[in-house]
Amino acid sequence: MQVLVLMVPVFFGFMGFAIDLGRLYMARNELKTAANAMAIAAAQRLNGTEASIEAATAYARIPIDASSGVANKYDFGGSTIGESNGTLNSEEPTLSFYDASSAAIGSEGSTGGEAGGATAKHVRVVVRGEAPTIFWRFLAIGLDGRINLAAQSVAGQSAPVCQACGVEPIAVQAISIEDTVDFGFVPGIRYTLGYLCTGGPTPGALANTTSRVPYVMLNRYNEGATFLADELTQLYRIGSQGLPPASDPATYCLRVNAEEPVWVNAAPLACNANRVASQVSTFLCGLAARFDNATVPAVCNAVNESDTVIAANPADSDLTDVEDYTAYTGNNRRIITVPIVETAAGSTMVVLGFRQFLIEPAANDSTINAADQNGRFAALYLGSRIPVKQGRIDGCTQFAGPGKVVLHQ
Amino acid sequence: MRRRPTQRGTSLLEAVLFLPILMMLLWGLIEFGRISYTFYTLHKMLQTVARYTAQQPGLNFCDESDVQLTQAKTLALRGAGESAGAEIIPNLTADQIRIRLERVDPDTAQLGECDCSATGCDIAQGGRSPDFIVVSFTDGFPMRPNIPFFNAAETFALRPLVRMPVGGN
C-alpha cells in the first residue's frame, strides 16, 4: 500500500516524460515550421529601402495569420501563434533585421547590431508559445500546467547566384570589367540603357542620366511554346515579368559564364537608321506594363494576346521618379535583374554576372516611352539589392551579385 | 481465543483495484504516443512537400502531372523521390495531399485563394506563381483510438497544415 502511494509521483513523472515531453517537442517542431515560413517570407521582402522593414514585418505575419481559416498553428495544429486563447498565451513573434548573416545567427565574435531597412539583408524570427502539460502540472515542474516554448529561425540573402531564373534577358555592357563589384556602374546613378546599334553616330543619353550604356536582347525565343507562342507575345511577356517560368532551366534561367546568343530578329541595326526592331519595342512595351498594366502602348497594338499578358502581373505601387533608392516604396516590379557582359554584340556574349536596375519613368510621364526610336530607357543602378526568386549558387565564383533567399538556421 | 486480523491479502486487494487504472493509463500512454507519432509524421510530410515544391524553379502547381510536384509528394510519402521506398504511413496516397494556392492582392494587400487560370496562378497559361502555398490533407487524416473492451466506431481527423512562402530556398 505505502509503496504504491509512494510510487504515484514517480509514476506521474514518467507519464509526464512520455506524454508531456512528447507534446512539448511536437509543439516546438510546429513553432519551428512557422518560424521558418516567417523568416523566408520576411527575407523575400528585404529590398534595401527604408520601407522594407515594415513591408517584411507585415509579410512575415501571413504564414501565421489565421483570418482565412488556415495558418501554421501549434499544439496539434490547435493553437494560433501570436494570440492568446484564454489559458495558453503565444506572444507576437519578434523579428530582428541584420546586414550580415553572422550577426543574424549570433555566431561568436560577430559584431554589428540590428540593421535599418537600407542595409538589412537577413532576418531572425523568434516564435514563442505556451504548451499545456497534463501530468507534470501535478509536480513542481508543471508551472501552472504551462511551459514556455520558443523556436528561432534565421533567413536571408545567400551568396551571389550563378544561375538566376525569371530574370530579364537583356545583356547590359559593363562599363569596366576590372570592377568586380559594380562593373564600373555607380549605385544610385541613373544610366540610359540604349539598344546596341552599329556604326555611328551613337544615340545620346536621355535627360537626367549620366551616360548611355548599350544592351542587346538575349535569345530566349521558345519555339516549342504552346501557349502565348507568338514571338512578339513572348517578348511582351518577358518584358512585363522576366523570363516566364518553365521547368527547363535552359529557357527559364541564365547562367554566369554561359555563352548567350543575341535574339535572332532583334539584331542591332545601323545607328544612323534611328530605329530598332519591333521585337525591341515590344520588349519595352512589356517594361511599360510594369508601370501601367491596363493600357498597351500604341506601338504594340499589333501584339497578339497582349491583354492576357498585361493582366497577369500587377503594376508597381510606386511610379515616382526615384532619386534616392532607399525612399522607394514600391513592390519591386520596376526592378530588373540583368546579365552583365563585357561587350554587347550582335553575336554571342559571355555572362559575367547579374546586377539590378530600377527602371525610371520618362521625363514628365508615369511610364517609359516604349516607342523610343533607339530603344532607350532610364534606369537607376542598384547593385544587388533584392534576392532573385529562383536560382542556384553553385558552379561559379562571384564576388558580388544578387543572392536568393535561404534559411541559415 | 479470537484470531487477530492480519494484513495479509490487503496488498493483493489493493493491487487488484489499482491494476485496471494502471493498465488504462499505460494503454492511454501508448495510444497517445501512437497518435502523436502519426501527427508528427504527417506534419513532417506536409513540411517536406511545402519546402520542396516552394523552391523548385518553374514548378506549376496547377498541373497535377507536374514531374516535380509528383516527386515532392512521393518523397514525402515514401521518403525517396523514386517510388522505390516503402510507404511511411500505409494507405496514404498522393491525391490526399491538397495544395491551396494563395496570393497577396497588390491593391488591397489581402491574402486570397488563387485559382488556376490565366490571370490566376497557372503559369502554363501565362499566370503568375502563387506567393504562398498551404499544404494539408483533404478531410484530414482519420485516426481511430484503440481502447480495450470498447470498440470506438468513430474516427477523428488529424489536421496538420503547413503554409510556406513560394520562392527562395
Beta-carbon contacts of A227 under 8 Å, excluding residues fewer than 6 positions away, are B124, B125, B126
Q: Which residue from A minimizes the CA distance to B46? A: A33
What is the rounded CA–CA span in Å between residue A45 and residue A56? 5
- What's the average model confidence in pLDDT over A271-285? 92
Chain segment A98-154, per-residue pLDDT in tens = 988 888 887 655 566 788 888 999 999 999 999 888 888 877 665 677 888 999 999
Chain B nearest-CA distance from A404, in A, is 6
- Residues of chain A with C-beta less than 8 angstroms from the C-beta of B14: 1, 4
Count CB-CB contacts under 10 A for residue B116.
Answer: 17
- What's the average model confidence in pLDDT over A299-321? 88
Cβ-nearest to A70 among B32, B57, B163? B163
Cβ-nearest to A252 among B58, B68, B102? B58
CB contact under 8 A, A72 and B163: yes
CB contact under 8 A, B36 and A23: yes
Cβ-nearest to A19 among B29, B60, B168? B29
CB contact under 8 A, B132 and A63: yes
Q: Is residue B139 pLDDT above 60, yes or no?
A: yes
Count CB-CB contacts under 10 A for residue A303.
Answer: 25
What is the rounded CA–CA span in Å between residue A135 and residue B151? 26
Geometric angle at alpha carbon A46, from A404 and A51, rounded to 5°: 160
Q: Is residue B137 pLDDT above 60, yes or no?
A: yes
Assigned C-alpha cell, A41: 517570407
> Cβ-count burial of A348 within 10 angstroms (0-12 exposed, 13-18 middle, 19+ buried)?
middle
Mutate to test the interface with A, among B67, B163, B164, B166 (most CBs of A within 10 A): B163
- Give CA separation, A24 vs A9, A30, A71, A146, in Å: 20, 10, 20, 10
Residue burial B39-63, b: 16+ Cβ < 10 Å; e: rest: bbbbbbbbbbbbbbbbbbbbbbbbb
Assigned C-alpha cell, A195: 539598344
Q: Which residue from A minimizes the CA distance to B27? A: A15
CB A343 within 8 A of CB A173: yes
Chain segment A211-234, per-residue pLDDT in tens = 999 999 999 988 888 888 899 999
Cβ-nearest to B57 among A22, A249, A311? A249
Q: Is residue B59 pLDDT above 60, yes or no?
A: yes
What is the rounded CA–CA span in Å between residue A117 and residue A98? 9
Q: Which residue from A minimizes the CA distance to B120? A: A312
What is the DSSP secondary structure assignment for residue A20, as one 8-state letter?
A: I
Geometric angle at alpha carbon B24, from B19 and B28, rounded to 5°: 150
Cβ-nearest to A26 among B36, B113, B169? B36
Q: Do β-strands A335-341 and A170-173 pair in parallel, antiparallel, or remain unpaired? A: parallel
CB contact under 8 A, A33 and B167: no
CB contact under 8 A, A62 and B168: no
Chain B nearest-CA distance from A354, in A, is 17
Residue of A122 and B83 predicted with greater confidence: A122
Q: What is the model's pLDDT at position A49?
A: 92
β-partners of residue A76 are none
Q: What is the model's pLDDT at position A226?
A: 81
Chain segment A43-76, per-residue pLDDT in tens = 999 999 999 999 999 999 999 998 888 899 998 8
Query: What confidence tier does A161 reach under pLDDT thresholds 50, 70, 90?
Result: very high
CB contact under 8 A, A407 and B169: yes
> For residue A306, what is the enclosing H or E element?
helix A306-312
String of DSSP letters for A321-386: --SSGGG--S-STTEEEEEEESS--SSEEEEEEEEEEEEPPPTTSSS--TT-TT--EEEEEEES-S
- Residues of chain A with C-beta less than 8 angstroms from the C-beta of B47: 33
Question: pTM of the full predicted structure?
Answer: 0.91
β-partners of residue A260 are A349
Query: What confidence tier does A40 reach under pLDDT thresholds 50, 70, 90?
Result: very high
CB contact under 8 A, A1 and B43: no
Phi, psi of A400 (to 5 degrees): -155, 170
String of DSSP letters for B1-52: -PPPPP-TTHHHHHHHHHHHHHHHHHHHHHHHHHHHHHHHHHHHHHHHHHHH
Chain B nearest-CA distance from A237, in A, is 8
Mutate to test the interface with B, among A59, A247, A291 (most CBs of B within 10 A): A247
- Residues of chain A with C-beta less than 8 angstroms from the C-beta of B51: 36
Query: What confidence tier does A327 reach under pLDDT thresholds 50, 70, 90?
Result: very high
> For residue B112, what is the enclosing H or E element?
strand B111-113
> ipTM of this predicted complex?
0.88
Q: What is the model's pLDDT at position A153?
A: 94
Query: What confidence tier does A5 reach under pLDDT thresholds 50, 70, 90?
Result: confident
What is the rounded CA–CA span in Å between residue A12 and residue A170? 68
- What's the average model confidence in pLDDT over B40-64? 89
Q: What is the model's pLDDT at position B92?
A: 87
What is the rounded CA–CA span in Å between residue A170 and residue A252? 14
- Find the range with the poorest average confidence among A91-95, A258-262, B14-18, B64-68: B14-18
Q: Which residue from A minimizes the CA distance to B105? A: A314
Query: What confidence tier does B84 reach under pLDDT thresholds 50, 70, 90?
Result: low
What number of residues does chain B have? 169
CB contact under 8 A, B57 and A390: yes
Cβ-nearest to B106 among A252, A305, A331? A331
Q: Is residue B1 pLDDT above 70, yes or no?
A: no
Mean of the per-residue pLDDT values of chain A: 89
CB contact under 8 A, A37 and B163: yes
Q: Is residue A360 pLDDT above 90, yes or no?
A: yes
